[in-house]
Amino acid sequence: SYFISFSFQQRIEIHKLRQGDNLILGFSIGGGIDQDPTQNPFSEDKTDKGIYVTRVTEGGPAEVAGLQIGDKIMQVNGWDMTMVTHDQARKRLTKRNEEVVRLLVTRQSLQKAVQQSMMS
């Protein structure tokens, strides 16, 4: 059997949780055009300077909404996130007047060959 890797896009809607004075989403991001892309453990292409999800807190809004660690965030509420600095990405996610963020993420997946699954 062999593995195929492909990526598919997914739309995720996260409802922010209020904690004190802050609205939190429950995950951490890494990456950005001002960062060092070679240190990104989740990207397949080490020159990819996009924004990646590096951690998802358990039970947080992001996990509930289906965000997974390693996802690449392509858009946030329609704003493009593939060519932004780290700080710009953070700002776009943490706007104070938004309670819901709609993310377009790309996820990589490994799947066994379809042929094998058909044979078994």
**Residue ranges binding other proteins (CB under 8 A):** 24-25, 27-32, 34-36, 39-40, 54-55, 57, 86, 90, 93-94
Three-state SS for 5-55 is EEEEEEEEEEECEEECCEEECCEEEEECCCCCHHHCCCCCCCCCCCEEEEE
Residue nearer to other proteins on the CB measure, 24 or 74: 24
Supply 41's token pair. 């453990």
Task: For 43-114, list the strands marked E by DSSP.
Answer: 51-56, 72-76, 79-80, 100-112
Q: How far is the CB of 14 from other proteins (least distance, A)?
A: 10
Q: How far is the CB of 46 from other proteins (least distance, A)?
A: 12
Residue nearer to other proteins on the CB measure, 39 or 111: 39
Supply 71's token pair. 């996802």
Residue nearer to other proteins on the CB measure, 4 or 83: 83
Supply 4's token pair. 């195929």
Q: How far is the CB of 11 from other proteins (least distance, A)?
A: 18
Q: How far is the CB of 27 from other proteins (least distance, A)?
A: 7
Residue nearer to other proteins on the CB measure, 95 or 107: 95
